[in-house]
Amino acid sequence: MESDFIKREKTVIKTSIISIGANIVLAAFKAFVGLVSNSIAIVSDAVNNLSDALSGIITIVGTKLAGRSPDRNHPYGYGRIEYMTSFIVSGIVLYAGITALIESVKKIIKPEVADYSLVTLVILTSGIIVKFILGAYVKKKGREVNSDSLIASGSDAFNDALLSISVLVCAVIYITIHVSLEAYVGTFLSLFIIKSGLELIKESVDNILETRIESELSSKIVKEVIKEKEVEGAFDLILNNYGPDKYLGSVHIELKDNLSVADVDRISRSITNNVMEKYGVILHTIGVYSINTKDKKIMNIQKDITKIVFSHKGILQMHGFYLDEKNKTISFDIIIDFKIKNREELYREIYDEVKNKYSIYKINITLDIDVSD
């Protein structure tokens, strides 16, 4: 029986091959018609289709390489290769756009009249229909296997269809009223391609650097964690992305201080299994914050310190409070909004205020990072 990963890989490759074939055929027809009719706009459209085909080839190569098994040097696998190949594809799209822009500007400086025919219109119309169908198909498959690259390719196909419509309109205008908008439409197409290339580069770089955890996923995981009846709260969820649908992470949970080590072990294993089964995320580390439950005096101190912390603007969260009376220590974590310019200065203000009021205790405040919602 095939694993989900193998099924996903096969779907991505099959869909990419169909996309490559369609784009090569379209590029060949459009290039021929563009050269024959002396239309830089159609030639630019053909170059865009060719870059789409090349992107599909690189997507296949990236998917195959990303599917390699983990080894000693790469214990988390090769999934991030898909992001690197996506960066290469982005560069190709950007180069195609710049090349088309240069040719379009040349046509503006030294105009050449295009020679449209009925065949030109038929091929352009056929290309538009094919692109709309291809876009719908690729996008559908991308959603089925949660492939960002396929979804992006599907969206790109829809954009290509819209751009081809503009070329078709340009041709109709020329045939009916003999006004040539060739070079200007070619320039518009080129700028659109360049914009797409820059957006793809940004997306690829974001994936390589890792961005904020998707709020919907983080919320679902936190809700799953606090379903355990003993868990009082879940914080500091960190997910590291090692390729599409490959997440490893950690989380802190708050538990009452009257639980045994065996209880903590049982709870941790239950959380790990449930999150893996429902969301395919491996929580390799579950840290524990102990909650004071045996002394009302300590609970009142916690309320007072909480009031002190949240009296400052920019505090998003406070958690993990624990007062150890025996060793005279107070520990807790705070999260400060990234909008605060000097987060360390605010941290120091809070620390000093708590320390001055509870000077008999050693104060341990951890400045956490706002990595998830």
Q: What's the pLDDT tens digit per position in 78-98?
A: 888 878 877 887 787 788 778
For 289, phi and psi rounded to 5 degrees?
A: -105, 130
Share of the chain above pLDDT 70, in %: 94
Going by C-alpha positions, the residue among 238, 284, 233 that lies closest to residue 254 is 233
Distance CA 266, CA 41 (A): 65
Distance CA 364, CA 322 (A): 10
Instruction: Kindly tell me if the per-residue pLDDT of 1 is higher than 60.
Output: no
Q: What is the DSSP letter of 212?
A: P
Domain end marker among 209, 240, 265: 209
250 & 190 share domain = no
Chain-centroid distance, C-alpha 372: 14
Average pLDDT over residues 35-61: 77
Residue 313 DSSP SS3: coil
Distance CA 360, CA 303 (A): 18
CB 253 within 8 A of CB 289: yes
Looking at residue 3, its pLDDT comes to 56
362 & 248 share domain = yes
Going by C-alpha positions, the residue among 287, 336, 333, 286 that lies closest to residue 312 is 336
294-327 pLDDT, tens digit each: 788 998 999 999 999 999 999 999 999 999 999 9
Residue 69 DSSP SS3: coil
Mean pLDDT, rounded, of the chain: 84
Average pLDDT over residues 52-67: 80
Looking at residue 115, its pLDDT comes to 67
70 & 195 share domain = yes
145-193 pLDDT, tens digit each: 777 677 777 777 776 777 777 778 777 887 888 777 767 877 887 788 7
Going by C-alpha positions, the residue among 70, 98, 333 that lies closest to residue 196 is 98
Distance CA 102, CA 367 (A): 51
Query: For the chain, how many structural domains are there in total?
Result: 2
Tally the residues of the chain: 373
Instruction: Kindly tell me if the per-residue pLDDT of 210 is higher than 60.
Output: yes
For 320, phi and psi rounded to 5 degrees?
A: 70, 30
221 & 353 share domain = yes
Pairing, β 281-291 against β 247-256: parallel
Residue 277 included in any domain: yes
Residue 81 included in any domain: yes
Range of the domain at 318: 215-368
pTM over 0.85? The answer is no
Position of tokens 């995320």?
281
170 & 264 share domain = no
Chain-centroid distance, C-alpha 290: 35
Quickly count: other Cβ atoms within 10 Å of residue 17's Cβ.
13
Higher pLDDT, 257 or 103: 257
Position of tokens 């751009």?
163
Distance CA 85, CA 80 (A): 9
CB 138 within 8 A of CB 130: no
232 & 199 share domain = no
Position of tokens 């040539």?
180
Measuring CA to CA, how many Å separate 51 from each of 26, 43, 63, 157, 299? Answer: 12, 12, 18, 12, 64
Structure tokens at 99: 């090349």
Residue 234 included in any domain: yes
Q: What is the CATH number of the domain that holds 30?
A: 1.20.1510.10
95 & 116 share domain = yes
Position of tokens 């170059």?
47
Domain end marker among 158, 177, 209: 209
Going by C-alpha positions, the residue among 312, 371, 311 that lies closest to residue 345 is 312
CB 111 within 8 A of CB 186: no
Distance CA 60, CA 317 (A): 43
Looking at residue 285, its pLDDT comes to 92
CB 231 within 8 A of CB 319: no
Largest CA distance in the chain: 92
Domain end marker among 209, 226, 242: 209
Residue 373 included in any domain: no
